[in-house]
A and B are shown apart, each in its own frame.
Chain A
């Protein structure tokens, strides 16, 4: 089974406000507020850790969520953010420098 790797784009602005991550892409002014679970995935998006592992360790272990549901939600979340260039997705590990 191929893995999915995610890395935060370096073109975005982001800050934690009361446990929720504000993320803004200056290129198209899209603005997102991520909930706690999405914030955990976002913070773990280092380009080296497979998404499956992030979901298992950052989501299932820290939040009481069914693993299959968590994986499906995470894939949807990643697809949404990658559409806006906020997360970059690859089948191979990536470095943070490649995220421009």
Chain B
């Protein structure tokens, strides 16, 4: 599979796309960066048209998410169309609207997998984060319905200060339910630029504990080893697949290099997807950046192993600059300071990076 990913990357084929079909949601999670009002979502026909174009462009892996995707009454129609176009479909949801019948429908549509947000194994903590009473109970029931249909289910556990102590519990719950578990400590600013939710980010010191948890990181020695000096090949390398073989499409048709990279590159309501993919100057710029071009990170000892996110770097001010959240991870993973910390004379990373979320281009329907 990685061979196929590399081939698509080299050929510049958009192998994978994440499409949010709505930003509306039935939960009001304390850490969510989205504006849940509907500012003119794509219609069913527009989404189907976009999917047809994505299939033609070579997209194979399609993630459908939101907001809460099941808030759209036409969501099953969208999934059905996507499957007819032979996409490998993954759905991300809070699952509170999934009952036995919906689980059965998803099985019949042969989706690849479904990822469900669970914040805690304690109902009160989960419900306090989602602000939807009984959401834990409904979500866990849905996990069982989906699992019983033989679907591949994974629980996504976003880690933040209100549920910091609960990742062991959620992991255990996932094991008891017989589903996969993933953990993500990334909190991003709100779309309107409000950075207050960054206060929910897990303090760096706590990340260290997460990285030392053998149940989460089995290859401890390798994962936490001091960075190796970068090779020429490392310096010729690229950050990730964003804009190379992956992109993100918002409910309003805006195309971005990634969910976490709010650089507007075009809109599928006004342009053909392939024209955006092939001709956008912004995407061309993203694709041109090699590790050796990075303003601070090119001289960092972590450059070959860092998870540096160009989208988070962009939100900090420059897509060629450092992403402080990843500097933190590299430091707490290995104990070795990053070039970004050293230039600021810091012995420990700053706890909150000055991120600014860029408002996606407003497009009327």
Residues of chain A whose beta carbon lies under 8 Å from any beta carbon of chain B: 10-18, 22, 24, 26-27, 29, 31, 33, 100
Contact = CB atoms under 8 A, between A and B. Distances in A.
B117 interface: no
Interface residues on B, range: 20 to 34
A26 B7 CA distance: 22
A27 B150 contact: yes
B152 interface: yes
B247 to A, nearest CB: 16
B112 interface: yes
Contact of B113 (A14, A26, A31): A26
A15 B15 CA distance: 9
A15 B11 contact: no
Contacts of B359: none
B60 A31 contact: no
7 contacts: A11-B110, A13-B112, A17-B7, A18-B13, A24-B60, A26-B110, A27-B110
B111 interface: yes
Contacts of B83: 10
A15 B60 contact: yes
Given A15-B55, A31-B1, A22 B60 contact: yes
Given A15-B86, A27-B110, 9 more contacts: A12-B86, A17-B7, A17-B15, A18-B13, A22-B4, A27-B150, A29-B152, A33-B3, A100-B108
B23 interface: no
B152 to A, nearest CB: 7
Nearest to B57: A15
B198 interface: no
B58 interface: yes
A88 B20 CA distance: 34
Contacts of B7: 17-18
A88 B361 CA distance: 47
A16 B88 contact: no
Query: Dominant SS at the A interface?
Result: strand
A95 to B, nearest CB: 15
B300 interface: no
B312 interface: no
B306 interface: no
B4 A26 contact: no
B13 A17 contact: yes
B112 A15 contact: no
B290 to A, nearest CB: 23
B297 interface: no
A14 B86 contact: yes
A16 B110 contact: no
A98 to B, nearest CB: 15
A60 B318 CA distance: 55
The 3 tightest CB contacts between A and B, nearest first, are A13-B88, A11-B110, A15-B60
Contacts of B86: 12-15
A17 B9 CA distance: 11
A33 B150 contact: no
B8 A17 contact: yes
B87 interface: yes
Contacts of B59: 15
Interface in B3-25: 3-4, 7-8, 11, 13, 15
A30 to B, nearest CB: 11
Contacts of B13: 17-18
B202 interface: no
B79 to A, nearest CB: 12
Given A24-B88, A26-B152, A33-B4, A16 B58 contact: yes
Contacts of B4: 17, 22, 31, 33
A81 to B, nearest CB: 15
